Structure 1
């Protein structure tokens, strides 16, 4: 998946010459810093050479499109036994630099590309790129922007006089990246909390614009943005692009990381804040001026002209000229070999990039189908509920109880917006218990659909609870949970029976590795070993494809009176993924 890649794209008002100069200066500074723990030949870089050390190659290119637009590219490859780190920096200047609508763009990608298949399948996932030092350097050196939003290495302090500016950024229709806003803590001195927020957002530079409200600005901000979209009490909120404060229902898209969750584990909180912005930055559509640029840089090499033979005045002069010609041919041959090697590497990378883009497109299409199916199901359910409300109101009116038909609900129904909340809320239920790995649940938070999945998972949990209660009380004797969903009693919680799969395929059951993956913890009163195979599973999403997460469970209602959820996370391995 592309979440292993670090990508930042921003624009600046710097003139082209200054932008190119800044990029070259910061790149050199970054290489100097890396040379302290890695053998990088800075003198070779200064001489314009491609090879900077053993397994370290820097390709660079400068070109113009003929209309005045200029592009400078640098691509660094650092090889190791399993593959190479690929760092690509592109600076693109417009054809009309004095036009205020034209911007100079910076585009930085860092990712690891694995080239060996010797490791086990579980270990082949490329390592995750950290925020590179050059990204922090560039963000500090230039005034980086995501349209109106500022991209900085650390959160920007928002005082009351800048609240209006922040509100404009939130609703900016041209904003591409999330805006992360931290509120002041009610019990921690503000400056101490500010330092802590800097630590919590240290994985976000270049992926989102970062802000922290001071105590006076917090009240002003929340009054202006409205209660559904507010952030307070030490919470940190991620506002996605396309925010519409006039639609209360839009608030659930914009996730809140609460102060209690931050207190439990700072590192996990930092990872949770980073997951979705990182994915949106890596997978999002590039700005128009950059879509036409090739991602890989081309090497610029020059071959010295072949010298002309001097007049053959005598045998000695002819022999000397011949030796000079041979030496020149050898030098030229060496240059051609190096150029050929570099071009071959570029072709290899281009092939890798094309394959990866096809894979990403397939995943994106699966995600789109998933969201579409969820939306269709929700629209159908909403239409049915509205029809029921109309029928019930009409019956109340016919019964002479019209006033009761429009009494508002005393407490609005609250749904979880994050999957870890589902696990927390399970503590209030007595018939459903989570025994799995919470880290797998947090992994799903990297996906944009996670809030929808959280609500679907909660509906499953409520259906589990009512099913178990009905079985124990003798009100349901018709079979298992799938039958409950196929023929639900009137007025109960249930999900689509098509999402419930009571078993796995024979290819999964007979494969040792896949069997082991589906063995999850249970209390010893369920099984003396403390583990059981949970073949029964539910699609937490709109389709049965690989992009839809899974919930694996064990029905022990007739034993301990509970349903145990052993797994809630990404789709486990099946034969088709080998």
Structure 2
């Protein structure tokens, strides 16, 4: 299977994490007219190709929760399963892992691989509007945030954070009018929610930012720059990692097309980033045990044995019932 969307975020302690997740999933189910309690553990067959599984379990002082919707008969390019996995802890950060998987697409020779910009789950978008979620030390939001001069020191901490999984997008207003630029920035970052953090800078703040990071890591006016985790200002090679979307490309590209382009690139990158070991190992405990792989030669041998056994049973069924009945008839005739 292929990962179409993956977001993993830490949640600050002291929040009603699990209750909020269940509430938002419940709202989504209701909007789809699916009458199901999102907080109740069990397996629910909605249709022959629509299975919802909900798992809940105590995990130390916290609680583990997983909501999964699976379509066993999904075709290539279709959604195979959607999973929300949550760990809530009373005194330590919890986490939220949202993932959408698709059937692997097998293309013909010479065809380009399928590259779809899977939509951000509406449940995740809503949760980020209510919960304090973090990517490393960077607070995640459901949309881009304006930066003030007072925020610049924090912003430098975000850039240098090696624990950050997703990118930080810095977007320069340049000479654009405020409202036009704000609307455009929200449109082009629509598919990046839950995957990265976007910050907007006016000319004054941009000057302070560029002075702080230096010429090699600077944000040119009217552009967008993608800062990957662990920015190192002292490295001569590091600036090459942080790509710039130039003004010429921005002006020449339709807004929706640009949004999809950014979304596809980030989904591809996020799918290659490993889920933290503690979350991966915990979730693995609740996965069904896979059947052991059987070599093709062994499969063929077992199939031949099964065919031979079927043939033997067929022959037995042709003769034994008749002999048995005949025996009963002879007994009855003798008795009469």
Structure 1-normalised TM-score?
0.46
- Structure 1 CA distance for aligned equivalents of residues 262 and 134 of structure 2: 20
1:509-549 CA-partner distances (Å, limit 9, x unpaired): xxxxxxxxxxxxxxxxxxxxxxxxxxxxxxxxxxxxxxxxx
Which of 75, 80, 87 is equivalent to 2:82?
A: 87
3-state SS of 1:41 partner: coil
Quickly say closer, same or farther: Cα 1:162–1:85, change in 2 above 3 A: same
1:22 positional shift: 0.9
Partner of 2:14 in structure 1? Answer: 15
1:81 positional shift: 5.6
Partner of 1:256 in structure 2? Answer: 244
User: How does 1:263-412 map onto structure 2 within 5 Å?
Assistant: 263-265=251-253, 266-294=255-283, 347=290
- Structure 1 CA distance for aligned equivalents of residues 152 and 146 of structure 2: 10
- Structure 1 CA distance for aligned equivalents of residues 144 and 83 of structure 2: 26
Q: Please tell me whether the aligned partners of residues 79 and 100 of structure 2 are also in contact (alpha carbons under 8 angstroms).
A: no
Paired residue total: 288
1:125 positional shift: 4.6
Structure 1 residue 204 corresponds to structure 2 residue 192? yes
Quickly say closer, same or farther: Cα 1:290–1:62, change in 2 above 3 A: same
Partner of 1:55 in structure 2? Answer: 49
1:94-137 CA-partner distances (Å, limit 9, x unpaired): 4xx32xxx31100010122259x8x8675985855221211211
Quickly say closer, same or farther: Cα 1:123–1:63, change in 2 above 3 A: farther
Q: Please tell me whether the aligned partners of residues 65 and 87 of structure 2 are also in contact (alpha carbons under 8 angstroms).
A: yes
3-state SS of 2:103 partner: strand
1:204 positional shift: 0.5
Which of 161, 175, 198 is equivalent to 2:150?
A: 161
Which structure is higher in helix share? Answer: 1
User: How does 1:39-78 map onto structure 2 within 5 Å?
Assistant: 40-43=33-36, 50-65=44-59, 67-78=60-71
Q: Which runs of 5+ in 2 are unaligned?
A: 294-336
- Structure 2 CA distance for aligned equivalents of residues 151 and 191 of structure 1: 22
Q: Please tell me whether the aligned partners of residues 174 and 202 of structure 2 are also in contact (alpha carbons under 8 angstroms).
A: no
1:225-258 CA-partner distances (Å, limit 9, x unpaired): 1111111321000001121012232111100001
Q: Please tell me whether the aligned partners of residues 261 and 269 of structure 1 are also in contact (alpha carbons under 8 angstroms).
A: no
Which of 101, 107, 116 is equivalent to 2:97?
A: 107
Which of 213, 224, 245 is equivalent to 1:236?
A: 224
Quickly say closer, same or farther: Cα 1:123–1:223, change in 2 above 3 A: closer
3-state SS of 1:50 partner: strand
Which structure is higher in strand share? Answer: 2
1:80 positional shift: 5.5
1:54-104 CA-partner distances (Å, limit 9, x unpaired): 522110111234x4343111111145562653111110134xx32xxx311
1:474-515 CA-partner distances (Å, limit 9, x unpaired): xxxxxxxxxxxxxxxxxxxxxxxxxxxxxxxxxxxxxxxxxx
Q: Please tell me whether the aligned partners of residues 117 and 260 of structure 2 are also in contact (alpha carbons under 8 angstroms).
A: no
- Structure 2 CA distance for aligned equivalents of residues 9 and 46 of structure 1: 21
1:28 positional shift: 1.3
Q: Please tell me whether the aligned partners of residues 146 and 200 of structure 2 are also in contact (alpha carbons under 8 angstroms).
A: yes
1:145 positional shift: 0.5
3-state SS of 1:292 partner: helix
Partner of 2:24 in structure 1? Answer: 26
3-state SS of 1:42 partner: coil
Which of 160, 168, 176 is equivalent to 1:171?
A: 160
3-state SS of 1:5 partner: strand
CA RMSD, aligned part only? 2.9
Higher relative contact order (CA 8 A, sep 6+): 2
- Structure 1 CA distance for aligned equivalents of residues 101 and 86 of structure 2: 18
Q: Please tell me whether the aligned partners of residues 56 and 78 of structure 1 are also in contact (alpha carbons under 8 angstroms).
A: yes
User: How does 1:114-129 map onto structure 2 within 5 Å?
Assistant: 122=111, 125=114, 128-129=117-118
Q: Please tell me whether the aligned partners of residues 86 and 113 of structure 1 are also in contact (alpha carbons under 8 angstroms).
A: no
1:183 positional shift: 0.7
3-state SS of 1:294 partner: helix
- Structure 2 CA distance for aligned equivalents of residues 191 and 126 of structure 1: 32
1:11-32 CA-partner distances (Å, limit 9, x unpaired): 111437x111111111111222
- Structure 1 CA distance for aligned equivalents of residues 39 and 283 of structure 2: 25
